[in-house]
Structure formats: C-alpha cells, structure tokens
Structure 1
C-alpha cells in the first residue's frame, strides 16, 4: 500500500487513519523533511513558513500516540540531517520537524554510510552504521554495522560472516578467512563461497543463532532478565 499525498496534512491524516483502522502492522512516513504544509503549497515562492512543519508534527503526534498504543501499530518516521547555522561549539546537526518527534519516539536510530563497497572499480553497495540514540524499551547507544547491496538490500551473507567472526565460528587472520576447513582470501571471496555452498551458510547461521546470547553485554543481559525474557534467545528473536 503506497500513498503519495500532496500535502503534509494529507500524509499525516492518512497515517492516522491507517493506524486507527488496525488493518496494517507498520506505517512508514518517508520523510518528515519532505512534508509540505498546505500553507506553503498554496503560498508564493519566498514566503516565510518558519515552524509550520514543527507545529504540524506536534499536533499529529499527540493524536497518533493514543491510537498507536491501542492498535500496537508500528509507525516509522524517516528523517534527514540538517546543519544549524552559526553553531561554533557542540554538534551542529539537527533534524527537521521540531522536537515533538524526538519526544514521542520510543526508538531513534541514527544511520550513516561509513564506506562504499566496490567490486573492482564498480560501486556495488554501502557499509552502514546504525546507532540507537534513544530507546525506551531497552538500553540505548548500541551500534551495529551491515552491508547494503544495491538491488539486493541488507546482505545476509555478509552478516553471517561478520557474526561468525565475532563468535569465532569463522577464523580470521588478516585478510584470510577459514570457513568449513577452507582457507579463503578476502571477504568477497568468502561471500562467493557461502553463496555457492548454501548448506555451509545455513550451518553457520544455525550456530550463530544457537550462540547469539554470547553477543549480549552484561547490561543487555540484566535488561533481558528485568523484562522477563530468557537469556537463551530463540531463532524467532532474530527473524527479519
């Protein structure tokens, strides 16, 4: 279900209607920075519209908060970074849409491209870092890195390699990897090997899921216990 409304008011009205209906599990608004208020659409070029999006978001989120809690719908707001003008000290980065979204959000994730992935001279994807900068349901400030391949999405095979190395299921020495007794040079070659041998990839993935609890920090273990969840995490916790 995709909707491309003309104004920000329409976009947020549609979001509210979908949430209240309970017919969908997830609603994604892409993006807050692109929301166009009706007053700006109908106004002249160059007219000032300071704070209009912030007021719009504040009103919408107050209405959405109750509906979300009743229907358990997940609403994801994608936003962009802007730089504050004239900031000499501290972080100059900010996000459009005012402070209401920061306040109402249960989880906020800062995602950045940290590396361009290449196959020879051709760019094939990005290495991405995700940092949880706010979390009401678990300890915040966790970080994760993963590969996004153009036309494919998040690379599952690359994630298997990274987690396999962390859990010492795959041996790594410099640029060399040892997988299932095979010594292979370079991560790209390891990916090719696992893609050509899916039974090996499935075996490593199963071992990762069986040992996933070892990746938890002491703080995360305490949080899991406090939440009444078992430390022996099942594979279902890592689906998707």
Structure 2
C-alpha cells in the first residue's frame, strides 16, 4: 500500500495505533500536486502496490500556484491538473489492477440560494472518472 501525504499530516504513531502496518507502507510527501500525481502514475505502472491513497485532493497544489505570490489568481489550474492526471492514470490503473483512493474535502459554494451549496475541490474529472463515490 502507498500513501501520498499531500497534506504533510500523517502521524505514524497514531496510524500504527489504528492498525496501519507502517513498516510496509510506502509513504511520500510530495512538494507539488504534479509530483504527487506522477508518483501515483509511476506506482500504478510498476504494479508494485495494490492500493494507493492520496490525502487529499484539496492539498494537491499546482507548481505554478506554489511558485506564485499569495493572492495571485490561478483559476482552474487545479482542475486542469486533475483532468490531465486522470486521463493519464485511468488506463495505467486498469492495466495494473491498482486501486487509487482520493480523499477530498467539502467546500461551500458562495451565493447558492437553491440546491446543495456543498462542492468538492479539484474540478469535475474525479467525479467523471470515479468508479465509486
């Protein structure tokens, strides 16, 4: 099993108490969203693991956003990154039989008067490619 800790928040002591076999867990704390998704793709292509967990989609920050200034507009950048990654990952996951689990966060849509104001980060690609939600 591989754990991509994009939030940089994994507590190995607590995880072990929950029953996680830390000694056999491949863990990566990537610097950018692109790096995290490339690691997922490499693991899927290698067939080295059966399960990859990404924590979390909201923390998959595009490199351009990290290198930019706080307050810069990066409209749609994360959604584009996820869309490109899912197109690339889908076939490799299928061919290797690897399960990829994305943990995500719920955000509130501003100004919604009717309907559900909740949404998830990362654009629509995950919703379209997901086998189970």
| TM-score where L is the length of structure 2 | 0.80
CA distance in 1, matches of 2:31, 2:132: 28
Tell me which residue corresponds to 1:37: 62
CA distance in 1, matches of 2:116, 2:61: 27
CA distance in 1, matches of 2:109, 2:69: 25
Tell me which residue corresponds to 1:56: 81
Asked whether 1:5 is paired with 2:17, we answer no
Asked whether 1:102 is paired with 2:127, we answer yes
Asked whether 1:25 is paired with 2:25, we answer no
More strand by proportion, 1 or 2? 1
For 1:87, which of 112, 126, 133 is the aligned residue? 112
Kindly state the Cα deviation for residue 35 of structure 1 after the two structures are TM-superposed.
0.8
1:105-124 deviation line (CA, Å, top 9, x unaligned): 0000xxxxxxxxxxxxxxxx
Kindly state the Cα deviation for residue 89 of structure 1 after the two structures are TM-superposed.
0.2
Q: CA RMSD in A?
A: 0.4
Asked whether 1:78 is paired with 2:95, we answer no
Kindly state the Cα deviation for residue 22 of structure 1 after the two structures are TM-superposed.
0.3
SS of aligned partner of 1:88 = coil
SS of aligned partner of 1:76 = strand
| TM-score where L is the length of structure 1 | 0.45
1:228-239 to 2 correspondences below 5 Å: none
Structure with higher Rg: it is 1
CA distance in 2, matches of 1:41, 1:102: 25
1:130-160 deviation line (CA, Å, top 9, x unaligned): xxxxxxxxxxxxxxxxxxxxxxxxxxxxxxx
Counting matched residue pairs gives: 108
Runs of 4+ in 1 over 3 A off after TM superposition: none
